[in-house]
Amino acid sequence: MSKKKEKTLKERLRRLEEIADELDRDDTELETSVALFEEGVALARECGKALDEAELKIVELKGRLDETFEEKEEE
């Protein structure tokens, strides 16, 4: 059983750029454009989720760091 490798944020953003370029072309068929747009929306959601998770992690880590400094100041 093969595991599907999850794409990195960088890979997703690169694919979004490719989709935008393809949608900008005048010769892209309507059906292809709709499929690309749908893929782009899904990728944008995934990127947003990944960025939200990263932000949450940073906030949590900063909170821990602040607590460490507060504890040292109390000593």
User: What's the pLDDT score for residue 19?
Assistant: 98
Q: pTM, whole model, 2 decimals?
A: 0.74
- For residues 7-38, one letter each, b for 16 or more C-beta atoms within 10 angstroms of the residue's C-beta and e for the rest, the string is eeeeebeeebeebeeeeeeeeeeeeeeeebee
User: What's the pLDDT score for residue 75?
Assistant: 66
Q: What is the mean pLDDT of each run of 10 residues along the chain (75 residues)?
A: 69 97 95 98 96 96 86 71
User: What's the pLDDT score for residue 7?
Assistant: 86
